[in-house]
Structure 1
Amino acid sequence: MSTRKDIAERNDRALLQAARDVLAEDGVHASVAAIAARAGVGIGSLYRRYQTKEELFQRLSLLSLDHWNEAAEQGLADPDPWAGLAGFVRGCIEFGQGSLGPIAGAIEVTEEMSTKSRRGDELLDALVRRAHESGVLRADVTALDISLLIEQLGRSPVVDQLRKQGRDDLLPAAAGARRRLIAIALDGLRPGPGPLPGAPPDEILFTGRWTDRPDA
């Protein structure tokens, strides 16, 4: 028999997953009503758990940072530098790590978020450095390249569209196609015959979206 605590935890998990899904579809304009409806709970239940939409998104951000850091630690624990890096990238993409991009600059970055983000940067740098030193990662790929790759592949437009259409019959095929694309992208990280085009991306491209504009 479910206790009140069990029900509350189940509702919270449903709310967080619904928020992630609605964010992927509607971006920063995702409404509280849409999130509650997707989770199958009333708006009152949502506001009893999270006083504001910003608080909900901050919680979602912390969970995402936790997953990133745990995946990176698991990658570093793998004795194979390539397997560790590839497992990290694959795990973050499949988790949907990039789905929080739309809320960059729309919520306050808490100190806890900043601390976990800095830890994540350190872990990814270690993964990339180890892969470079062992020669399994092309020399011109940076940690920021990896971060942007994860964000770009962290959501699948095809899967999102099929879900909106209610085409559950096509979702397995779409998931399979997505796994192939992830494998293709990972293969592109290995040392290749020619250099990557242009200069490596600047850190401001990834982090600047979460802070106020200089002229704001």
Structure 2
Amino acid sequence: MPSTRRRPAPRQAEADRNDRELLRAAREVLAEDGAHASVAAIAARAGVGIGSLYRRYPTKDDLFRHLVDLSLDHWVAVLEAAGAEADAWTALSVFLTQGLESDSSGSLAAIAGTVEITPAMRAKDDRSEAMLTALVQRAHDAGVLRPDVSTSDMWALVEQLTPAPMIEQLRKRGLADQLPAAAAARRRVIAIVLDGLRAPGSPLPDAPPPKAVFDRRWETG
């Protein structure tokens, strides 16, 4: 039987495309300019008129808040996929590889403390924290994760590895032909990091970072 699923109307399809381009451009401009990224630069990078941007996102804060919300959704989805794995080490590997190899998250550390975190967003963050804690505990119980690695260590790894300077620089300079090699280099780095997480490992210096290191930066006011 032919599919009864309706295709989006041309105008809606164009709006959806513009939104995807705006979000992609916003991540790229944020990676280059940080919290000072301008909506004009984002619209220009996306090839979208500034009026179209403001119709979708009335303020820059609205755009940035949506990016943070999408990032939270991204990590919840990745952790759900990881948690479905039967093998403890595979689950942890899925968390890092799927989470870091996707362009849908991006580094948003530059806007920490500049956007309001809503109760719904906080709930997503709490959920991802609980799911990652469960993955780490599974890996510890299975004896595959070095015993001195904590949940906060894993989040710290994600934050340190989420920026991809080589890829960002190549994109900025229009060297698209080099992007596949840069992506392959990133996959190698992630594999090296995973290997370093395996038990038993050499003793790590200092204590794991406290959760406040991550949370306090997102407080506004």
Once the 2 structures are TM-superposed, how far is the Cα of residue 166 of structure 1 from its aligned partner?
1.4
Distance 1:124 1:57, change over 3 A: same
Opposite residue 167 of structure 2, the aligned amino acid is V
Once the 2 structures are TM-superposed, how far is the Cα of residue 2 of structure 1 from its aligned partner?
5.3
Equivalent runs, 1:18-33 vs 2, <5 Å? 18-33=25-40
- Structure 1 gap ranges (5+): none
Rounded to whole Å, the distance in 2 between the matches of 1:57 and 1:72 is 23
Structure 2 length-normalised TM: 0.92
Aligned length: 213
- Residue matched to 2:93: 86
Report if the CA contact (8 A) 1:32-1:43 is conserved. Answer: yes
- Residue matched to 2:137: 129
Return the match for 2:22 from 9, 15, 31: 15
Rounded to whole Å, the distance in 1 between the matches of 2:191 and 2:200 is 16
Deviates more, 1:190-199 or 1:139-148: 190-199
Rounded to whole Å, the distance in 1 between the matches of 2:10 and 2:69 is 26
Distance 1:193 1:154, change over 3 A: closer
| Residue 160 (structure 1) aligned with residue 168 (structure 2) | yes
Percent identity reads 56
What is the root-mean-square deviation of aligned Cα atoms in Å?
1.4
Return the match for 1:149 from 135, 152, 157: 157
Rounded to whole Å, the distance in 1 between the matches of 2:109 and 2:97 is 18
Equivalent runs, 1:33-48 vs 2, <5 Å? 33-48=40-55
Structure 1 length-normalised TM: 0.94
Runs of 4+ in 1 over 2 A off after TM superposition: 95-98
- Residue matched to 1:67: 74
Once the 2 structures are TM-superposed, how far is the Cα of residue 41 of structure 1 from its aligned partner?
0.3
Rounded to whole Å, the distance in 2 between the matches of 1:98 and 1:164 is 15
